[in-house]
Amino acid sequence: MAADKLETIRAPDSTSHIEVRNISIGYGSFVVMKDINFAVGRKEIFIIMGGSGSGKSTLLRTLLGLLEPAAGEVLYNGESFTRADPDQRLRMLRRFGVTYQSGALWSSMTLAENVALPLSEYTNLSPAEIREVASLKLAMVGLKGFEDFYPAQISGGMQKRAGLARAIALDPEVLFFDEPSAGLDPITSRRLDDLILELRDSLGSTVMVVTHELASIFAIGDDSVLLDGESRTPIAYGNPRQLRDHSADPRVRSFLTRGEPPAGSVQDRG
């Protein structure tokens, strides 16, 4: 079934920051998802949604080069990431910031050291300056004073924020989030959403978020793709709120309303 194109897929033009062309992803010979096409404009928050096991995180890993796509290519700023040689890739990776599901902080280092590592590798700052920038980044995510804590000593929500501080250490052009609200309580998750919006506005980064948290999706998403595990293809592209209210595909509406009829459209369900 053809993907539901409510807001027609943004035509790739000079303003699109990330472009995904005909990507097929999978492990070995097992195809998880095929025919994925989308373009993300600058400063947009793009959501990759889908049920559990539909390949959201696999798609993210492919966008980051941790997995090679079975077909198709990924472009950043019109430059192919998939076909780039290792040096070019490294150059492009330096402009990314990634936060992982579990935080993925290096457990043998303190929070400050975690944030400082990319700074010491990629800038010419002195150790004192690095320490200062690291403290500032931790303060930006609300972790001022926790510089010398080890990841195991802080809570899961704090680990996620510390991971975000590390991701924004180098003022990335693209920020990736893998399930930012997984395992967080509603309030913490809401604060993280606000933080994402704030960072997008202040850093001017393009943001890619993998999530199935509906509240987050509607709160921050400008544009989105919905992956369907059963048909192994994307079934909808567009603004999540518009998809929820106007999509013609019952699968899309049902995903975005938790299978419940939205208020005022009960008659839809017959």
Partner 1 sequence: MPETRTDSSPADTPNAVSGTPAATQGSSSAAEDSAVLFEREDDILAIRLLGTWSLDAGLPSTADLERELANGPAPKRIVFDTTELGAWDSALVTFVAKAGQLCRAKGIPIDRSRLPAGLMRLLQLAEAVPEARDVRTVAAAPGLLTRLGQIGIGYGGSLREALTFLGEFGMAFGSMLRGRARYQVSDLALIIQQCGANALGIVSLISFLVGVILAFMGAVQLQKVGAQIFVANLVAIGMVREMGAMMTAIIMSGRTGAAFAAQLGTMKVTQEIDALQTMGLSPMEFLVVPRVVALVLMMPLLCAYSDFLGIMGGAAVGSVMLHLPLFGYLDTSLHAVDLTSLFGGLFKAATYGVLIALAGCLRGFQSGSSSSAVGDAATSAVVTSIVLVVVACGIFAVIFNILGL
**Interface residue list for partner 1 (CB under 8 A):** 61, 64-66, 90, 93-94, 96, 98, 100-108, 117-118, 121-122, 163, 166, 176
Least spacing, CB of residue 118 vs partner 1, in Å: 5
Least spacing, CB of residue 137 vs partner 1, in Å: 14
Is the dihedral angle over the CA atoms 41, 43, 44, 45 positive or is it negative?
positive
Pick the closer one to partner 1 by CB: 180 or 238. 180
Pick the closer one to partner 1 by CB: 61 or 191. 61
Closest CA to 176 of 69, 93, 68: 93
Pick the closer one to partner 1 by CB: 165 or 243. 165
Pick the closer one to partner 1 by CB: 66 or 266. 66
Closest CA to 207 of 167, 260, 237: 167
**Sheet with 233-237, edge to edge strand ranges:** 4-5, 233-237, 223-228, 45-50, 206-210, 174-178, 96-99
Least spacing, CB of residue 125 vs partner 1, in Å: 16
**Pairwise CA distance, residues 255 & 268, whole Å:** 15
Closest CA to 179 of 104, 75, 106: 104
Least spacing, CB of residue 133 vs partner 1, in Å: 16
**Pairwise CA distance, residues 146 & 22, whole Å:** 44
Least spacing, CB of residue 62 vs partner 1, in Å: 12
Pick the closer one to partner 1 by CB: 96 or 237. 96
